[in-house]
Chain A
Amino acid sequence: VSCRATRARLSAYLDRDLPPLEAQRVAAHLAGCAGCVGRFRSLQRAVELLGELPLVENSESIASRVLDRLELESRGPGLALLFRPIGSARPLILPSLIPAALVLVTILVGALALDHKGTSAWERGWGTEADPVFPSGGVSAPRIRERGPADDVLAGMGEGTLFLETVVARDGSVSNVTLLAGDSRTALPLLEALRKDRFEPGRFAGRPVAVSVYRLISRMDVWARIT
């Protein structure tokens, strides 16, 4: 038997797994071949060394860890859902989220833009003396608190009609009176008198705002017929 054929059978020979005749041939070759004997001994030793490997230390109970994990899973779908990989459980969830996300983004962007506009309009001076607002559902009308000499001035005036715009400032004073229609010469004392009126200012969302008020003042002397 050649060295090569012997070496191919060394593993089976070691396990006593060869038919008797083959085993005898291998034994006979080994008896006369130092190289193959060396090979056989090192193979035998390698196998023995594997068997001598010490047991790995088992410092903690795997059983208790496994039971803990099983208990965690058996607590119902509440926790299990948390640990479940979403993609594999519901493969369509990501594609279906895309339109939802787009709608959400659109709404958010719109809301932010509107909010931004509102804020800036307020900051730009909406409701200030330079840009007064008109009384409406959200804006309360100013109420008179203290009358100036306007009534006295009116009493001394002749017949006529005046159309006026009065701006009531945020502090309740009259910041501006403009004559829109009527005789400006006769109206002048009245305009001065109206500036001295004091108001409870108009408010928007609790904040005082400058409000523009239009007034039509008509004076007519009525003479009783003499009978």
Chain B
Amino acid sequence: VSKVTPIEVAMAEMALRSGEVLVSASTSERGLVELCQRGDAQAFARLVALHEGMVLNLAARLLGDLEEARDLSQDVFLQVYRTLGGFEGRSSLKTWIYRIVVNQCRNRRRFFRRRRKDRSLTLDELKPKDAAKLATEEAHEGSPFEQVSRIERAERVQKALLQLSFEHRAILLLREVEALSCEQISAALAIPGGTVKSRLARARESLRRILVSGLEGGRA
């Protein structure tokens, strides 16, 4: 079993984020899955390291709470470990993991909603270097969206997301943030392709309306 250096992991994460297929002898998905299915702990550690960023990101955006998302991410990978034996490779591993994330978030939300104290992702939960970088990139031109800093914009978008229904939030994040195709979303959410398109259109319109009304309300 070859070791994976942090750089390789970072590269793999970037590749996964941009939706590219990762082909490499040491990290090919099928080989990794087979090693994990044979109980190779190192291979599983690699699998988790490759996907934990995207799992945490999706869970945090879906739940609107970073701590809860960290906790849930562990449960997601425990479920991956326990059910990997039944993974047949009909969808990609990534799509399969997305499906587990969305299902766990949907289940957890029911308990979570009762004890939640209006917490949402805040400034300090962004990477410090990102916050600094984002602050310098403030743009003061164009539509009202551009008149606030990127950090504020990200906060507004996250708040708007949390006002949407769970299903709308999930489909928007999978499509616009995780850059999944309609076919992949169809597999991840277990809904027909036609439903993906109609739900996506409604979700986009709901988000648009919330963002526009938020800006008008903010200016008034």
Task: Report which A residues bind B (CB closer than 8 A).
Answer: 8, 10-12, 14, 17, 39, 41-43, 45-47, 49-58, 60-67, 69-70
Give every chain B residue within 8 A of A53 (Cβ-Cβ): 61, 154, 157-158, 177
Q: Number of B residues contacting the other chain (C-beta, 8 Å)? A: 47
Residue in contact with B57 in the complex, picked from A49, A55, A60, A63, CB distance below 8 Å:
A55
A8 to B201, CA, bound (A): 8
Majority-rule SS of B interface residues: helix
Residue in contact with A62 in the complex, picked from B73, B125, B130, B161, CB distance below 8 Å:
B73
Task: Report which B residues bind A (CB closer than 8 A).
Answer: 41, 44-45, 48-49, 52-53, 55-57, 60-61, 66, 69-70, 73-74, 77-78, 81, 121, 125-127, 130, 134, 143, 145, 150, 153-154, 157-158, 161, 172-173, 176-177, 197, 200-201, 204-205, 207-208, 211-212
- B145 and A49 form a contact (CB under 8 A): yes
Give every chain A residue within 8 A of B78 (Cβ-Cβ): 66, 69-70
Residue in contact with B150 in the complex, picked from A41, A52, A63, A66, CB distance below 8 Å:
A52
- A62 and B205 form a contact (CB under 8 A): no
Give every chain B residue within 8 A of A70 (Cβ-Cβ): 41, 44, 78, 81
A46 and B204 in contact (CB under 8 A), knowing A51-B176, A69-B74?
yes
How far, in Å, is A21 (CB) from chain B's closest CB?
18
- B208 and A46 form a contact (CB under 8 A): yes
Residue in contact with B197 in the complex, picked from A10, A17, A39, A65, CB distance below 8 Å:
A17
Give every chain A residue within 8 A of B201 (Cβ-Cβ): 8, 10-12
A135 to B13, CA, bound (A): 92
- A42 and B204 form a contact (CB under 8 A): no
A100 to B158, CA, bound (A): 56
Look across to chain B and name the residue whose beta carbon is closest to the beta carbon of A17. B197
- A50 and B73 form a contact (CB under 8 A): no
A165 to B172, CA, bound (A): 104
Can you list 24 contacts pairing A with B, beta carbon distance less than 8 Å? A10-B201, A12-B201, A39-B208, A43-B204, A46-B204, A50-B172, A50-B173, A51-B177, A52-B150, A53-B154, A53-B157, A54-B126, A55-B127, A56-B57, A56-B69, A57-B130, A60-B70, A61-B49, A62-B70, A63-B45, A66-B74, A69-B78, A70-B41, A70-B81
